[in-house]
Structure 1
Amino acid sequence: MQTKIIGTVLPVLEIELASGEAVVGVPEQLSWITGGVTLHTSVAAAGGGGLFGLVSRAVSGAGIVMTEMRAENGPGMVGFAAHLPGEIIEIDVGHGAYMVHRHGFLCGTSGIVVSSALQQNLGAGVFGGDGFVLQKIAGEGKAFVELGGEIVKYDLQAGQSIHVHPGHVGLFDEQVSFEITAMRGVRSTFFATGDFFMAKLTGPGRVWLQTLTAPGLAHTISHYLPKQG
């Protein structure tokens, strides 16, 4: 399996598969295929876990069904284009799991397991009716994650903390402690409750922060869209 990330602002991940090799991902993430690659959509790919596993993946934003892209009829290639300006990064999963923002998982090898790690309602203005959700990427193999805007990495020492707006939490090691804290009485256009929420990340472990979020982008351009009525 050979991987290549093309572009900078709106990157594309291309994976060349030798005969018999496969990757799994959300069907909506697939952009193009070539050669002898065939698609097999299944509720069992990338997670299993019975009914709970299906519900967990649906809540996390990964979807109930996953698609296996296998080079059955000779070698081929699959492409995954980014949905927002940002970066696509590769992570090795095996000795520990990773937490990623709701729509971060792009695809992975067949040993990857995707589930819901955390769901909390922080205010409809920023995250919609589903609230704040994290995906958990576990299992064994390689996974590819899409993060928005520029990526800022921090290696936190044991006991060292950083407070981050939840929307800018991109990816972090499983051993990093995660806690949502409310700053009372701080008004924000994003939150209907009157509270301002921050995510407290405490080491040890690495965190990847993203500078662009889909809700933030939508809020910025909403002022320029035609008003109904």
Structure 2
Amino acid sequence: MPGLPELMPSEVSDETFGGVTYHVAGELVPVLSVDVSRMPVYFEHHILLWKNSTVTIGLKSLKGALKRMMAGMQIFVTEASGQGIIAFSRDGPGHIVPIHLRRGEEIQVREHQFLAATASVDYTFERVRGLATMLFGQSGFFIDRFRGDSGDGIVWLHGYGNVFEKRLAAGETIDIEPGGWLFKDASVRMETRIDRLSSGFFGANVNFVVNRFTGPGRVGIQSMYLHMPTEE
């Protein structure tokens, strides 16, 4: 029997990696707390919950500003630095998961579900490939890409519901409801599969759509579906 996806930890205490020590706590609406004394952290807008007054807030420009502007995407993110701790939380229930990246490793993330990352992690994006995936894959038009370019680092993501991880062997596949995937390794291929179901009753037909992921690598699954609009 194929292995089941495994529930990712929902609480983390005193974890140190990539130049920061962090905590994740809370069951319904979790909170991420990060000590930024040794490494700045950049984060999505409007998620700051609290911070020590010694922590300063600034703007960090992202690579490919012109490309981002033409795609209608943000060209700056907010960055925290200085001596102390800063805490983040989304205004909705879910599961905060840390993704540790060694230098050169890359993770690809569903659009709008990035929470924060260490300054050592490069943040770019790519267009969703394939007309069927773009129109029916329910992932929006872009996928966020995070890469440990200047050293080890961490990306924190917010998943809706609970987040499970499935490790795929080379050539192994899993079909996921279009709103159910959260992240994947760059080595994992994603394609949208459409099956046309017919009841034979007055010619009634319905499309059954899944996103198929092919290993090797990891796939993150969120138990609460999120359906992105197909146009902004």
Deviations 1:43-88 (A, max 9, x none): x2xx312411455681xxxx332011111xxx22111113432211
- Answer 1 or 2: which has greater helix percent: 1
Query: What's 1:12 paired with?
Result: 31
Aligned to 2:63: 48
Instruction: State the 1:135 CA deviation.
Output: 1.6
- Which amino acid is 1:179 matched to? E
Q: For 1:99 and 1:70, locate their aligned partners in 2 and report how far apart those are by CA, in whole Å.
A: 25
- TM-score w.r.t. the length of structure 2 is 0.74
CA distance in 2, matches of 1:10, 1:168: 19
Matching residue of 2:135: 122
For 1:144, the aligned partner's letter is: W
CA drift at 1:211: 0.5
Structure 1: unaligned runs, 5 residues or longer: 188-192, 217-229
Runs of 4+ in 1 over 4 A off after TM superposition: 53-57
Distance 2:97 2:109 in 1: 12
1:206 to 2:225 alignment: no
Contact 1:4 1:14 in 2 (8 A): yes
Q: Who is 1:183 aligned against?
A: 195
Within the candidate set 48, 65, 80, 1:69 is matched to 80
The worse-fitting range, judged by mean Cα deviation, of 24-33 and 145-154 is: 24-33
CA deviations 1:191-218 (Å, max 9, x no partner) are xx963321110011111110013449xx
Partner of 1:224: none
CA deviation profile, 1:98-148 (whole Å, cap 9, x unmatched): 11111221111112222223335435xx95xx9354221123421111111
Unaligned runs of 5+ in 2: 1-19, 200-204
1:100 and 2:109 are equivalent in the alignment: yes
Equivalent residues in 2 for 1:28-177 (5 A)? 28-42=46-60, 44=61, 47-55=62-70, 58=73, 63-71=74-82, 75-93=83-101, 94-119=103-128, 120-122=133-135, 131=140, 133-140=142-149, 141-177=153-189
- Structure 1's 6 and 166: CA in aligned 2 closer, same or farther, altered over 3 A? same
**Residues 155, 51 of structure 1: CA spacing in aligned structure 2 closer, same or farther, 3 A cutoff?**
same
Contact conserved, 2:63 with 2:124, CA < 8 A, in 1?
no
Q: Secondary structure at the match of 2:54?
A: strand
- Percent identity, please: 25
**One-letter amino acid matched to 2:35:** E
